[in-house]
Structure 1
Amino acid sequence: MARLIAIVTGANTGVGFGICLRLLIQLSQQAPSDAQPQERVDPNFALSSRPLVQSPYNSATLVLACRSKERALDARERLLVAFDVELLRRKRNNRGEDDAYARHFRDTLQIDFVQCDLASVSSVFEFCDVVKQRYPYISHLICNAGISCFTAIDYYAATWQILRDPLAGATHPTYISQSSGLMSDDGLGLVWQCNVFSHYLVQRELKELLCAAPSVARVIWLSSMGAAAGHSDPEDWQLIRSLSAYQASKHQIEIIAHQLNEPPNPHVRHIVVGPGAVHSGMGSQLLGPLTSLIMIIYFYIVRWMGSPNHPGQARKGAISATHASLAPIDHLPPSSSAPRLDAQTDRLGNEFVNVSRTDGHTEMSVVAGRLLERIDGLCETFEARDGRREGADNPESGLDGSVVIV
């Protein structure tokens, strides 16, 4: 049995923290529930038609890739406390029986912090250098971190949409404004750099470590229900002018991830997942305590109305990422179908995984191919800037502190 070595970006809060905690809870079981076949992922067989999936990992190293050391170390402590509480609860439910497997897992657990600021290309390079020096391989890279550019809520429009169509108001709100024109110090579209480019750069820089994993490595990309081809303009590929940059960045993530599976790499699989609608730090700058409470209640109401897309809690929304991490590769939908594994719940809040399909998948290869050409050229440009390769001459990018948008 091998040691799982997983990097989770943005692990100190929200869905990233939920993924880390859920991974620990699942990995401390010999037959993790999230690794089992999901009836709604593959309806062609019943959940009882195959033997229990045993975890291929009996130990783990979690790498918290965060911008703030203080917040990462605080998250580490909160993870350990919450995990110990869960193990104690499990032991009591087992009437005091000694769970040697869980105890061994807890004793060998390692939670590390490596600083990474996705808004800085130099920081991403430094992060990858540390990872290469510290770890023999990476079995899982979970690209969770991201930023939004939400600026305001139109409460009149919100009231109108919620009263007219409460499910759409909670799933695809049209009453939240986003800013445009945000740029990073590297001269890139800020939302695009943090959500798309930096994660692509990490997996590109760590490709050798991913290929060195003892089994097929998994790069898991966090998308969103709002991801749709209609938000993307191929000519504004850095999403600088976009008024829906967050949704457009998530669509780019989906098509990039699926394109990276073509042709199939026997050593690395790229998987797209969605956490559903959960209460996290995203957009918290717009919500006060009262508004946040109203939003949580709203999520519960639409869940009772029949919406499966509102897990509400980050830990429930994390099931799509943990299932993608632990289920056997041949239990997952084939990459050729451009799937996204979505976290969903029933009316009682019992979480499960469902499958949707990437919007615009029929034209995906052409659009994604062109986008990847531009991104790879940009990677070479920054590698040359930071002295990582001999000069790269690409007509779509420059080294004068800005990037030429074509």
Structure 2
Amino acid sequence: MGTKRVAVITGANGGLGFAIACRLLDTIPSSVPLTIVITARHLRKVVETIGRLRAYAKGRDLLTFDYVLLDLTSVASISEVSNQLLSRYTHIDYLFCNAGGGDFTGIDWPAAFVEVLSNLKDAVTHPHFKVERIGRVSRDSLGWVFQMNVFANYFFMKQISTLLSGGGRVILISSIESRIAHDFDPEDIQLLHSDQPYVDSKKSLELLHAAIAKRWADELGVLIYITHPGICQTSIFAEYLNFLTTFGMLCLFYIARWIGSPWHVISAYKGALAPVWAAVDAVPEADPVDGVTYASASDRLGRCYVKRTEDVTDEDRKNGAILLQELDKLALNSLERIKLETA
């Protein structure tokens, strides 16, 4: 029997998060005791998710589930959940920072048709036709998308860093779409003026990783990997598609893969390959955390593999340091506000 392992998966109730849980169950031997901590905003989703995972892992005796109700748009929620985990566990082996979102409002259909007709592969890899709301603010008076996708992840990591120290692994989930992000703007760190805050937030997450990966590895013994799932089906944009457009999108994905795109893995389970590989199988000496992104990729026949890219620049590290400084200020201010509210 192996040493017990604990995995926390944010946003595990569907899409990529659920696929990560399934692939984790398929990767870690059944002889190893495993606890999967599910996070979601609503208890109903937690109950449904645990039921589905129990059915998936039927017959696995050394598997237990736990849950916490987490809202990434509330620093109070993150703080409360962190305290719950600190009281329940002495160590967390894997933290998958999967939950997040975008503030999409629809599709610019004329632009979509033009992009697909002019360069199909690029159009379904780096789309410019998704329309996003500009300037949405959270209840904590922070940029809503920025808080969910960047600050919440960092704040959560900091709050439970003692549980991760000495060998824990954090898996940050970026996106292939970060390649079309705007240049980093130190005057708009919270992305309140961006017309594509989701894409820009994923780039910010990569800048954060560039700033902290080596430091956390050296000082805390925490390995932070930045990964992305390639292009796969998730629920993040599903409300703007119907049956016909969803079918059409899938057809375009398969065509893009057949004509040479390595990123169209299509299924969420295949998209979960890189995150789970980084958590369980990556070897630090051969698979460094600093300056590298590990992504789920596929050949033309759908055979999945982990693709490594090294594209961090000196400018990225400089901007990452600026971003980190602002995140630390926000974290300190958030803790002070929580103390005042609970006093």
Bin of the TM-score, shorter chain as denominator length: over 0.9
Question: Is 1:200 aligned with 2:169?
Answer: no
Aligned partner of residue 171 in structure 1, secondary structure: coil
> What residue number does 1:334 align with?
288
| Change over 3 Å in CA distance of 1:245–1:23 after alignment to 2 | same
Q: Deviation of residue 329 (structure 1)?
A: 2.7
| Change over 3 Å in CA distance of 1:278–1:115 after alignment to 2 | same
> What residue number does 1:311 align with?
265
| CA deviation string 1:66-91 (max 9, x = no partner) | 1111112101111121233xxxxxxx
> What residue number does 1:220 align with?
171
Amino acid at match of 1:339: V
Aligned partner of residue 226 in structure 1, secondary structure: helix
Q: Deviation of residue 290 (structure 1)?
A: 1.8
TM-score (norm 2): 0.94
Q: Deviation of residue 343 (structure 1)?
A: 0.2
Distance of 1:379 and 1:317 partners within structure 2: 31
Q: Deviation of residue 191 (structure 1)?
A: 0.3
Root-mean-square deviation over aligned CA pairs: 1.8
Structure 1 residues not aligned, in runs of 5+: 31-57, 85-102, 390-406
Question: Is 1:368 aligned with 2:320?
Answer: yes
Contact 2:82-2:156 within 8 A present in 1 as well: yes
Contact 1:73-1:113 within 8 A present in 2 as well: no
Q: Deviation of residue 29 (structure 1)?
A: 6.0
Distance of 1:165 and 1:265 partners within structure 2: 46
Q: Which residue of 88, 104, 110 corresponds with 1:134?
A: 88
Identity, % of aligned positions: 32
Q: Report the number of matched residues.
A: 338
Distance of 1:79 and 1:296 partners within structure 2: 26
Q: Deviation of residue 284 (structure 1)?
A: 1.3
| CA deviation string 1:326-364 (max 9, x = no partner) | 11433553234x1110100111111100011345x2212
Contact 1:148-1:246 within 8 A present in 2 as well: yes
Contact 1:66-1:115 within 8 A present in 2 as well: yes
> What residue number does 1:71 align with?
45
| Change over 3 Å in CA distance of 1:331–1:59 after alignment to 2 | farther
Q: Deviation of residue 258 (structure 1)?
A: 2.5
Is 180-189 or 325-334 further displaced after alignment? 325-334
TM-score (norm 1): 0.80
User: How do residues 256-405 of structure 1 correspond to structure 2 at under 5 angstroms?
Assistant: 256-263=208-215, 264-265=218-219, 267-330=221-284, 332-336=286-290, 338-358=291-311, 361-387=313-339
Distance of 2:285 and 2:242 partners within structure 1: 42
> What residue number does 1:35 align with?
none
Amino acid at match of 1:73: V
Distance of 1:195 and 1:172 partners within structure 2: 19
| CA deviation string 1:232-288 (max 9, x = no partner) | 322100011111111111111112123112333351011000001111101112112
Question: Is 1:61 aligned with 2:35?
Answer: yes
Aligned partner of residue 261 in structure 1, secondary structure: helix
Distance of 1:208 and 1:65 partners within structure 2: 19
Contact 1:344-1:353 within 8 A present in 2 as well: yes
Distance of 1:330 and 1:136 partners within structure 2: 23
Q: Deviation of residue 28 (structure 1)?
A: 2.7
Contact 1:258-1:271 within 8 A present in 2 as well: no
Aligned partner of residue 5 in structure 2, secondary structure: strand
Contact 1:118-1:194 within 8 A present in 2 as well: yes
Distance of 2:49 and 2:275 partners within structure 1: 19
| Change over 3 Å in CA distance of 1:388–1:267 after alignment to 2 | farther
| CA deviation string 1:93-140 (max 9, x = no partner) | xxxxxxxxxx6xx11101211110001111111110111111111111
Distance of 1:140 and 1:268 partners within structure 2: 10
Aligned partner of residue 260 in structure 1, secondary structure: helix
> What residue number does 1:34 align with?
none
Contact 1:231-1:244 within 8 A present in 2 as well: no
Is 168-177 or 149-158 further displaced after alignment? 149-158
> What residue number does 1:23 align with?
24
Contact 2:127-2:177 within 8 A present in 1 as well: no
Distance of 1:382 and 1:108 partners within structure 2: 38
Contact 2:6-2:92 within 8 A present in 1 as well: yes
Amino acid at match of 2:211: Q
> What residue number does 1:111 align with?
65
The structure number with the bigger radius of gyration is 1
Distance of 2:277 and 2:96 partners within structure 1: 12
Aligned partner of residue 110 in structure 1, secondary structure: strand
